Amino acid sequence: MRPSILRRLLRRVASTAALALVAATLSTTGAVQPAAAAGGLQQVTGFGSNPGNLQMYEYAPAALPANAPLVIALHGCTQTANDYYTASGWPKYADLWGFAVVFPQTTSANNALSCFGWFDPAEDTRGRGEAASIVQMVEYAKQQYGSDGRRVYVTGLSAGGGMTADLLAAYPDVFAGGSVASGLPAQCATSQAGASGCQTGPQKLTPAQWGDKVRGAHPGYSGPWPRVAIWQGTSDYTVYPANATALRDQWTDVWGIGQTPSATDTLPGNTTRSVYDDTSGNPAVATYSVAGMGHGLAVSPGSGTEQCGSTAAYFLNAICSTYYTGVFWGLDRDVPGGDQLPAPSGLHVTGVTADSASLSWDAVPGAASYAVHRNGTKVAATASTTYTDPGLTAGTAYRYTVAAIDGSGTPGTASPQVTATTTGGTPAQCFTATNYAHVTAGRARTAGGSVYANGSNENMGLYNVFVTHTLKESPAGYFVIADSGCTA
pLDDT reported for residue 450: 81
Task: Tell me what the pLDDT averaged over the chain comes to.
Answer: 88
Distance CA 208, CA 385 (A): 45
Task: Give the residue among 178, 141, 174 at the shortest CA–CA distance from 160.
Answer: 178
CA 470 to chain centre: 29
pLDDT reported for residue 22: 38
Distance CA 195, CA 17 (A): 10
Structural domains in the chain, CATH included, are 12-329 (3.40.50.1820), 348-421 (2.60.40.10), 429-481 (no CATH)
Distance CA 409, CA 417 (A): 22
- Range 261-275 average pLDDT: 93
CB 89 within 8 Å of CB 323: yes
Helix (H) or strand (E) holding 445: strand 444-447
pLDDT reported for residue 36: 31
- Range 78-101 average pLDDT: 96
pLDDT of residue 395 exceeding 70, the answer is yes
β-pairing verdict for 100-105 and 70-74: parallel
Interval 210-252: pLDDT, tens: 999 999 999 999 889 999 999 999 999 999 999 999 999 999 9
pLDDT of residue 21 exceeding 60, the answer is no
Which region among 13-17, 209-213, 321-325, 413-417 has the lowest average model confidence (pLDDT)?
13-17
DSSP 400-433: EEEEEE-TTS-EEEEPPPEEEE-S--PPPEEEEE
pLDDT of residue 10 exceeding 80, the answer is no
* Distances from the Cα of 372 to the Cα of 97, 273, 362, 376, angstroms: 18, 19, 13, 9
CB 365 within 8 Å of CB 391: no
pLDDT of residue 8 exceeding 60, the answer is no
pLDDT reported for residue 394: 87
Assign 408 a pLDDT band (cuts: 50, 70, 90): confident
- Range 137-150 average pLDDT: 95
Distance CA 375, CA 479 (A): 21
Q: What is the pTM of this model?
A: 0.75
Which region among 222-236, 294-308, 422-436 has the lowest average model confidence (pLDDT)?
422-436
Q: Is 158 a catalytic residue?
A: yes
Residues 6+ apart with CB under 8 A from 376: 324, 327, 328, 399
Please give the order of strands across the beta sheet that includes 227-233: 32-34, 42-44, 55-59, 100-105, 70-74, 152-157, 177-181, 227-233, 283-290, 271-277, 263-267
Q: How far apart are the first and last CA of the chain?
A: 66
Interval 167-212: pLDDT, tens: 999 999 999 999 999 999 999 999 988 998 999 988 889 999 999 9
> Of these residues, 158, 182, 456, 474, which one is catalytic?
158
Assign 112 a pLDDT band (cuts: 50, 70, 90): very high
Task: With H, G, I as helix, E, B as strand and everything else as coil, classify residue 314.
Answer: coil
CA 269 to chain centre: 16
- In degrees, to the nearest 5, what angle opens at C-alpha 149 toward C-alphas 143 and 153? 110
- Range 101-109 average pLDDT: 95
